[in-house]
Amino acid sequence: MTAPTPSAGRQHLLRGHEVISHTASFTNGRHCCLVFLLDPYAGQKDLKVFKAYADRSDEAETLALTQALSFLEYRDIDTPATLASHTSVDLAGRRVDIFCDLVAEGRYQAFPFVRRDGGSRELIMQFHLREAITGETPGAALEQCIRRLSDYFEAPEEPDS
For residues 91-119, average pLDDT: 83
pLDDT digits (tens, 9 = 90+) for 67-89: 888 888 776 433 333 345 677 88
Digit-coded pLDDT (tens) for 7-17: 567 888 888 88
In angstroms, the CA 161 to CA 147 distance is 27
| pLDDT score for 102 | 74
Fold (topology level) of 79-154: Lipocalin (2.40.128)
Residue 5's pLDDT band, with cuts at 50, 70 and 90, is low
Burial of 145 per CB tally in 10 Å (0-12, 13-18, 19+): buried
**What pairs with residue 106 in β-bridges?**
none
- What are the residue ranges spanned by the domains of the chain? 5-66, 79-154
Contact 82, 100 (CB under 8 A): no
DSSP annotation of 137 reads: S
Report pTM.
0.46
